[in-house]
């Protein structure tokens, strides 16, 4: 009896000490995690701030402060004066078209590989998967000279072809997991009812994959939107340039106007930031699925 209470008395402070230690430990972990988060976001906050300043304010005000009246006109100025509106629209339609093509063609291949029976299907799948390891730079010179021969340099089709081909592997990889897991009963019933393969794919399978299609589409959009090296190499006319190269050229001409540069950069990253705000779960899912399973 007596020893029992003594034991309880002793264990009281000891366990609260451990709890305190654990709380301190957690507090420390949180500080580390928050510090990393701040480091990841701080440069972007600074970018937002200087995109709203004129040079005088950039040079004289503290870096992380906003001027009394934010210079929103930086944005309207570069939007029209710097050709940024043209580049922006080019980026939009090239991104949308390349993404749609990749997702549709990728779905067809994935369907043929996972559902249909043919010799060489695993070899073909292997070709797509190995392509993921091939550096873009090793294809750049032949692509340039072949596009040049067939009149596709300085033509948006050179971008579309390149984007679709280089994003096909990761698209198929993300789709594969989903197709393998998709139950086949509905399809079997459809075949027994005399449904054709085309009809089955368009009416049954394609709609059933809508959630993974969204994931692959978002990943494709991000990659296409940000693509730089192909545009930089294949496209020379301003009317076909997309934002990445357009921004690069614009900034090359206006190296001293900080506000204009900041506004241009903000315009180029805003669509991605907005997408991220609403669809971060899909983006996380797509990047995780497209990275490791190989």
Partner 1 sequence: MDKVLSNKKIIALYVLPSLLLILGVVYIPIILTGYYGLNKWNGISAMEFIGMENYLALVKDSAFWSSAWHSLLLALFSTLSLVIYLAVAMVLATRIKGANLFRKIYLIPMLLSSVAIAQLWLKIYHPTNGIVNSFLESIGIANPPAWLADTSLVLPALFIPILWQYAGFYILIYYAALKNIPASLEEAAKIDGANALQIAWKIKLPLAMEVIKVTIVLAVVGSLKYFDLIYVMTDGGPNGASEVMASYMYRVAFRAHDFGYGSAIGFFLLVICLIITWIIRKLTATKDTIQYS
Q: 6 to 25, contacts with partner 1 by CB under 8 A?
A: none
Q: How far apart are CA 61 and CA 66, in angstroms?
A: 8
**Cβ within 8 Å of residue 177, ≥6 positions away:** 289, 293
The span from the first CA to the last CA of the chain, in angstroms, equals: 63
Give residues 73-102 in contact with partner 1 (rule: CB under 8 A): none
DSSP string, 20-54: HHHHHHHHHHHHHHHHHHHHHHHHHHHHHHHTTS-
Helix count and strand count (H, E) for the chain: 14, 0
Rule CB under 8 A: choose which of 47, 100, 182, 208 binds partner 1.
47
Q: Please count the residues of this chain forming the interface with partner 1, following the rule CB under 8 A.
A: 90
Q: Which of 44, 81, 186, 274 binds partner 1 (CB under 8 A)?
A: 44
Is the Cβ of residue 1 or residue 123 nearer to partner 1 in the bound state?
123
In the complex with partner 1, the residue whose CB is nearer, 43 or 183, is 43
Q: Of 157, 281, 290, 156, nearest to 223 (Cα)?
A: 290
Q: Which stretch binds partner 1 (CB under 8 A): 8-16, 44-52, 68-76, 92-100?
A: 44-52
Identify the CA nearest to 233 among candidates 139, 167, 168, 169.
139
CA distance 168 to 164: 6
User: Considering only residues 75, 166, 179, 240, which one is a binding residue for partner 1 as defined by CB under 8 A?
Assistant: 166
Q: Which of 78, 247, 260, 263 binds partner 1 (CB under 8 A)?
A: 247
Q: How far is the CB of 81 from partner 1 (least distance, A)?
A: 18
| Alpha carbon separation from 291 to 12, 36, 133, 211, 281 (Å, rounded) | 49, 22, 12, 18, 16
Footprint of partner 1 on 131-160 (CB under 8 A): 131, 133-146
Q: Does 273 bind partner 1 (CB under 8 A)?
A: yes
Burial class (CB in 10 A: 0-12, 13-18, 19+), 20: exposed
Of 115, 153, 155, 157, the residue at the interface with partner 1 (CB under 8 A) is: 115
Contact between 183 and partner 1 by CB under 8 A: the answer reads no
Q: Does 32 bind partner 1 (CB under 8 A)?
A: yes
Q: How far is the CB of 10 from partner 1 (least distance, A)?
A: 20
User: Of residues 244, 259, 263, 282, which one binds partner 1 by CB under 8 A?
Assistant: 244
Could you say which of 170, 176, 261, 263 contacts partner 1 (CB under 8 A)?
261
Q: Which of 71, 87, 90, 106 binds partner 1 (CB under 8 A)?
A: 106
Closer CB to partner 1, residue 6 or residue 116?
Answer: 116
User: Is residue 222 a contact residue for partner 1 (CB under 8 A)?
Assistant: yes
Angle (CA) 237 242 248, round 5°: 85
């Amino acid at each position: 009896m007596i020893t029992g209470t003594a034991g309880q008395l002793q264990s009281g402070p000891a366990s609260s000490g451990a709890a305190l230690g654990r709380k301190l430990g957690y507090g420390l972990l949180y500080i580390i995690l928050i510090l990393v988060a701040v480091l990841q976001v701080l440069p972007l906050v600074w970018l937002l701030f200087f995109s709203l300043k004129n040079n005088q304010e950039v040079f004289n005000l503290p870096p992380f402060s906003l001027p009394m009246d934010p210079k929103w006109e930086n944005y309207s100025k570069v939007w029209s004066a710097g050709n940024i509106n043209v580049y922006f629209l080019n980026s939009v339609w090239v991104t949308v078209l390349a993404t749609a093509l990749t997702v549709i063609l990728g779905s067809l291949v994935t369907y043929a590989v996972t559902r249909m029976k043919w010799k060489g299907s695993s070899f073909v799948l292997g070709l797509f998967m190995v392509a993921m390891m091939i550096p873009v730079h090793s294809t750049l010179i032949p692509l340039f000279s072949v596009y040049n021969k067939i009149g596709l340099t300085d033509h948006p089709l050179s971008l579309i072809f390149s984007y679709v081909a280089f994003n096909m592997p990761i698209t198929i990889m993300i789709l594969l997991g989903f197709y393998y897991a998709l139950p086949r009963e509905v399809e079997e019933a459809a075949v027994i009812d005399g449904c054709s393969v085309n009809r089955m794919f368009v009416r049954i399978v394609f709609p059933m994959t809508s959630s993974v299609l969204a994931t692959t589409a978002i990943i494709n959009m991000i990659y296409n939107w940000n693509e730089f090296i192909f545009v930089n190499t294949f496209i020379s006319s301003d009317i076909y340039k997309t934002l990445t190269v357009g921004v690069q050229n614009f900034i090359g001409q206006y190296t001293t106007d900080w506000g204009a540069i900041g506004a241009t950069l903000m315009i180029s990253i805003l669509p991605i930031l907005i997408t991220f705000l609403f669809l971060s779960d899909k983006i996380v899912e797509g990047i995780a699925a497209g990275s490791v399973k190989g």
